[in-house]
Structure 1
Amino acid sequence: MAASARGEGAPAPARWKKIKAARAADLAVPGDDDDTPLPEAAGDDPPEAVVLRLAGGGRFPDAVKVLAYALPKREAVWWACLAARHSQQTVGASAAAVACVEAAEAWVYKPVEERRQACYRIVESKRPDNPAALTALAAAWSGGSLVPPDAPDEVPAVPPDESLTARTVANAIIMAAVMHDPAQAPARFRRFLAQGRDIAEGGTGAIDAAAAPP
């Protein structure tokens, strides 16, 4: 099945260091309907092949989604940080949005519970209507509990779904690409996917001087 999806006899792309899933189907990437998988990511091809094929066909949001689900949580959140930072450099940002990205970056540098909770606190009173807030949420939902950190002790913990960070990262990156000047969205998607690929290959996403290492 994998050979036919790539084209008979076409070589498989080299594996990307940070992606552990052997088959895209193992990621359970949702399609437009959250209850059904993305058809292009439901087969035996490795995630790398699916990302490249979707991006090559101009299916940028779906390519972002597959890569967000394929990356480990820490690397995925870093990817969203880069996209949010680029969006802020392009159109400016409020102090609150900058603080959201800084909190997420701090969690990437040291992904401990205290910093995860800091991401939750900084975003819980804000509307997640921008890439920065979604990025902080992606870090906040990386583990622990969905219950706010300051909730009474008698409130039981609610572990987040394992896919919640990936879903939120994908939404953050897609929003960063399309929310300002949609005519530039394809160029932004290509930039973000190049950064995501570099991260997946073990790099920092620093495709230019604007990106700093985690």
Structure 2
Amino acid sequence: MTAPLVIAPDPLAACPPLLRWLLERSAPDDEALVLLNPSRSLEELYGSWLQAGHLPSVIRLIAGVLPARENVWWAWVSARFAAQAPGAKAPPAAVHTALAAVEQWIVRPDDDARRKAWDVGNAAGLDTPVGMVAAAVFLSGNTVAPPNVPPVPPPPGAALPLISGAILMAGAASGDPLQLAPTLTAFAAQGVEIIKRLNGWDAALQLAFDTHQRLTQEYARATAAPAAPAVPPAR
């Protein structure tokens, strides 16, 4: 006899809409969700996860509320650390070239700098922290199509996994397991400083949500199927 299908309870059911959106966006680990208390502030949630050592979930939570350029800067700082970490293997010249190209986009986020970061990031390797940051730069623009053709916007939020992935990878750059938690904790502190400059968690979350809604609408318009031509009435 087939066992009846059991549907697990929704751990986000009691969350306010904005918090639910953020948690769905940042995909925290199940162990971190156990500590979720929807009545507490987002800052308190961050603190409880940090204290419990749920650092990957902490990194993804911060990435979920930061704007694209600030996210790239945060991940770039982490990737630069990875290239200089004590005990890490000396990176090839392509990594330093990619770090410089991403920095140029942060300073001047135009399309030429974005495409240059993508090209040199590929050369450094998309399996490196800076390569992932360069890919996030590319996905933070208005189009993923080649120049001089109609724009094809990236899906909203496509860069987020690359940001958190680059930071988590950079945290392990030294190869010393004992340094992983302190390094990720330091990276998280840098991210929180950016959130403070955005007037705190709630303001940053509202900005992230509003931006995502706008980009989603633009993406839907850009990718909508063309309207069928009108059929003339029969005579």
TM-score, normalised on structure 2?
0.65
Q: CA RMSD in A?
A: 3.1
Q: What is the CA distance between 1:178 and its match in structure 2?
A: 2.2
Mapping of 1:1-214 within 5 angstroms? 23-27=18-22, 28-31=24-27, 39=33, 43=38, 47-90=42-85, 91=88, 92-147=90-145, 149=146, 157-179=151-173, 180-202=175-197
- SS of 2:142 mapped into structure 1: coil
Larger helix share, 1 or 2: 2
AA paired with 1:113? D
Greater C-alpha Rg: 2
Identity among equivalent positions (%) equals 27
Structure 2 residue ranges without an equivalent (≥5): 1-13, 199-235
Whole-Å separation in 2 of the counterparts to 1:145 and 1:124:
18
Q: What is the CA distance between 1:158 and its match in structure 2?
A: 2.9
- SS of 1:29 mapped into structure 2: helix
Whole-Å separation in 2 of the counterparts to 1:163 and 1:77:
13
AA paired with 2:165? N
AA paired with 1:75? E
Q: What is the CA distance between 1:145 and its match in structure 2?
A: 2.0
Deviations 1:25-78 (A, max 9, x none): 232324379xx9x84779575543332221121000010001011100100000
AA paired with 1:31? A
Q: What is the CA distance between 1:124 and its match in structure 2?
A: 3.5
AA paired with 1:83? S
Does the CA-based 8 Å contact 1:81-1:101 persist in structure 2?
A: yes
